[in-house]
Amino acid sequence: MNLKHHLVLTLCAVYGILLKGSSGQHPLVQNQTVTEGRTAIMTCRVEYNDQTSLQWSNPTQQTLFFGNKKALRDNRIELVRASWSELTISISEITLADEGMYTCSLFTMPVKTAKAYLTVLGVPEKPEIDGLTKPALEGDEITLTCMTHGSKPAANLRWFRNEKEIKGAKEVNASGKTFTVTSSLQLLVDRDDDGAAYTCKVDHVALLQTPQQTTEVLEVHYAPRVLITQSLTFPQEGQYLKLECVSKGNPSPDPVLWTKDGGQLPDLERMIVQGRELTFSALNKTDNGTYRCVASNHLGSSSAEYILYVYDFPTTFPPYTTPAPRPTRHHRPPRPHIASSDPTNIYNRDPNAMGQRGPDHALIGGVVAVVVFVTLCLIIFLGRYLARHKGTYLTNEAKGADDAPDADTAIINAEGNTHAEGKKEYFI
């Protein structure tokens, strides 16, 4: 009994070991994702191995390594580690053709296998921007197109204008295992687009470290706009004045043309033109007038006017100010300026005459105010004088004066009356 029991126990132990080895003899692998051009590491492990060989095969079932023996002549494939429990190989310079299912085999009875899928990411090419016209004209409609090839999976394209993202229309086309992605952007060109940087950026899982992008700067030609600035608000005689013709256009409208009252500037030493600036070293009444600055390029012309009125020094300014310069724009061909003959049109009034009438109104108003003030003072003074000199008079009437034959007798009788009543009369 003891020997039989011992044999049973021994057989059970051996059977258990065999079962444990059989269950542990199974290859373990993991799927891999590698960017095109990088190196893939393929590892196959066995928890329990009774010195059974491991083997790696490619998607076409060609043996790469059998144990530590290289079976396929491919210089890109190398052995990393080989043992009874592990077989690791590397594949450098991965291409899209290397993608597929790889098999690790354990040569037991029967043969046990495990499969790992190798995914190869296609790297998108640097994007290209087409459709940019240099230079573009203001008002043109253009379409910018950004395109990238070779992405897998399909890349995403994003547009930016001066680092601010804008939306484009995306289109994806398959080309073998890779994709061609296109994004278009429609623009109505404005002068504000001149110098704007339009960037097309590629977003892709294979470009997390080195993003791809292309930038183009838009050049826009447009007609000029003109504005006149002045150094003084109320120019006075003898002062220095600088007028600057601020013009913006592309191409730059240089030089600019200054005129006075529709004609050439007078030839005066104290009136100097330097580039865009018109300076007066010492203002004079003869400088009064309308000064115009005209700037032109091949797309058109623009002008602005400044009405100069030189005030006396010192002076009391009128209750209104000189009208601000008003820029006017002419497109090619420029429209002729037609003056109105309506005498009620305020735009036909002489600005210098208006400025000269301003001080006369102020003087008349001041005189009227003084006269009213003096009149009020006289009335108050006369009233106070009369109030202080009220008269009080006492009359004595003789009783019985009616019986006196004449006036003298009545007065004598009245003087003898010691009880005469006093009557007060007030005169103002």
Distance, CA of 160 to CA of 157 (rounded, Å) = 10
Residue with tokens 């098999």: 103
Running DSSP on this structure, what letter comes out for residue 413?
H
Residue with tokens 């890349």: 155
Asked whether 56 and 34 are in contact (CB, 8 A), the reply is: no
Strands of the sheet with 156-161, listed across from one edge:
164-166, 156-161, 197-203, 212-217
| Arithmetic mean of pLDDT over the chain | 79
Q: Is the pLDDT of residue 420 over 90?
A: no
Lowest mean pLDDT among 11-25, 210-224, 320-334, 344-358: 344-358
Tokens of 127: 């994007």
Distance, CA of 389 to CA of 321 (rounded, Å) = 55
Q: Is the peptide bond before 135 cis (omega within 30 degrees of 0)?
A: yes
Distance, CA of 393 to CA of 396 (rounded, Å) = 10
Residue with tokens 């997390």: 208
Domains of the chain: 24-121 (2.60.40.10), 128-218 (2.60.40.10), 223-337 (2.60.40.10), 393-427 (no CATH)
Residue with tokens 């680092």: 163
Q: For residue 408, what pLDDT is reported?
A: 55
Asked whether 55 and 65 are in contact (CB, 8 A), the reply is: yes
Tokens of 224: 């000029």
Q: Is the pLDDT of residue 160 over 80?
A: yes
- Per-residue pLDDT of 146-157, as tens digits, reads 999 999 999 999
Asked whether 308 and 228 are in contact (CB, 8 A), the reply is: no
- Per-residue pLDDT of 42-89, as tens digits, reads 999 998 777 788 999 999 999 999 999 999 889 999 999 999 889 999
- Per-residue pLDDT of 242-297, as tens digits, reads 999 998 999 988 889 999 998 999 888 889 998 899 999 999 999 999 999 999 99
Q: Is the pLDDT of residue 417 over 60?
A: no
Q: What percent of the chain has pLDDT over 70?
A: 73
Q: How confident is the model at residue 385 (pLDDT cuts 50, 70, 90)?
A: confident
Torsion, Cα of 202, 203, 206, 207 (10° steps): 70
Asked whether 301 and 295 are in contact (CB, 8 A), the reply is: yes
Phi-psi region of 394 (alpha: psi -120 to 50; beta: other; left: phi over 0): beta
Q: What is the per-residue burial (b if ≥16 Cβ within 10 Å, else e) of 275-289? A: ebebebeebeeebbb
